[in-house]
Amino acid sequence: MDSELNIRDYLVPGRHAHLVGIGGVSMRPLGLVLKDIGMIITGSDMNSSVSTEELQEKGIEVHIGHSAEHIKGAECIIRTAAVHNDNPEIAAARAQGIPVFERAQAWGVIMQHYQNAICISGTHGKTTTTSMVTHIFLEAGKDPTVMIGGKLPILGAGHRVGQGDDIILESCEYCNSFLNFFPTTAVVLNVEEDHLDFFKDLEDIKASFRKFAELVPENGHILVNGDDANAMDALKGLPVITFGMHPGYDVYAENISDDFRSLDIIADGKKYCHLDLKVIGSHNACNAAAAAAVAWVHGIPAEAVERGLAAFHGAERRMQYKGTVNGAEIYDDYAHHPSELQATINTARLMQPKRLIVVFQPHTYSRTKALFEEFVSVLQSADLCVLAEIYAAREQNTIGISSRDLQKRINGAVFFRTLPQITEYLSSVVSSGDMVITVGAGDIYQVADMLVK
């Protein structure tokens, strides 16, 4: 990794940056933001996708596959955390003396141009909370720059380039990437074991979140979920503002309805606002409390919080309604960690389907192995569990693990090797009153799309 000192000299109008892995969730907006400031941007990705097509439509040259030729003319390379030194484009850049920077370093440089850098972190809930904060700031008449890990309907994208004083970013702990950031407001939603292909253990993860919070200057804000013991432990002794679902925190929810859609937010002992949410479930109420806490510390009027959150119907792939098949409702969700999966199933149960069918595609071999027992336990609670093969993402299957291993442990579970086979099976078994949720961070959403088609 080349030093942070010279990345600034490269991220200026007229210079040419080549992005390796440009189709990724935070690489795509990075490419577009850099193009908007007047840079020449090219990129490459292993596979063509909706993301790479969007970039091409916006005038960015994207190569599919990786080859040394693709970096021709580039003055610097920016790569995603999943791209290693053995990548042919990285190897070629090294050989030619072209500096290689990490994606997070580039975002770090960009955010220093803003008065307020609001960085939302946590093992779960980042995309939804970042989306909620975005809705509130737009409703308050701010003009923020935004980077979200999912598509937000109000933006028609996962990012926005604004001219205001605020940048709102989803901030990921994987490979410590958020330690390259310069937050003025840091939010920690929760801290759990995940990304164990990089972190040693939970203590290592907590240490990373603590370092992230310590990046906030004295006049900034550190917001932490008081209901999350690991997050509180990680930030022990730091000057935090707490939020949560119980009295006693600086910002908390009360008068909460059974479906968690209606709640009052109390800030500093006084009623700040009343929320009527369009998303259900306790995890979303907690995300809304976090978003309201961010608004409160930034002096945003209550009405903007109320209107902004009333207009939020969820980010793409977050309990997203896809349509109806044979009278069954089809939803899609990005959950790929046992806790997220549990929250998704709990939310689905609030909607009282006759039968809940969970179609799950595990994401990465390392995560499936590390959290195997937790996945088994959560998936047992579906009325029918349909398993797709593990989505490799950045990994090779050196462990020798398969979704068949999960199937053997889950009563009545079925396994199919391909997505078309799953689609065919579902179209023959679903009936009126069923709810089907396709779940996972890979390409399982295609099943929901194919079913509805």
At which residue do the structure tokens 């890990």 appear? 149
- The count of other CB atoms within 10 Å of the CB of residue 47 is 10
Catalytic option among 54, 102, 139, 170: 170
Report residue 229 CA to chain centroid gap: 22
170: annotated active-site residue: yes
126 is catalytic: yes
The distance of Cα 244 from the centroid of its chain, to the nearest Å, equals 20
206 is catalytic: no
Residue type at 305 in one-letter notation = V
The candidate with the shortest Cα–Cα distance to 366, out of 247, 195, 145, is 195
Q: Please pick, among 126, 142, 151, 206, the residue that the annotation labels catalytic.
A: 126
Q: Which one-letter amino acid corresponds to residue 301?
A: P
Report the alpha-carbon distance of residue 78 to residue 18 in Å, rounded: 6
Tokens (6 digits) for 286: 């907690």
* Tally of residues, the chain: 453
Buried b (16+ CB within 10 A) or exposed e, 317-334: bbbbebeebeebbbbbbb
The residue annotated as part of the active site, out of 42, 80, 123, 127, is 127
DSSP sequence for 195-261: -TTT-SSHHHHHHHHHHHHHTS-TTSEEEEETT-HHHHHHTTTS-EEEEESSTTSSEEEES--TTS-
Nearest to 382 by CA among 447, 432, 316, 338: 338
Strands 100-102 and 76-79: parallel
Pairing of strands 157-160, 145-152: antiparallel
100 neighbors 84 (Cβ within 8 angstroms)? no
- Fill in the DSSP letter of residue 390: P
Residues serving a catalytic function are 126-127, 170
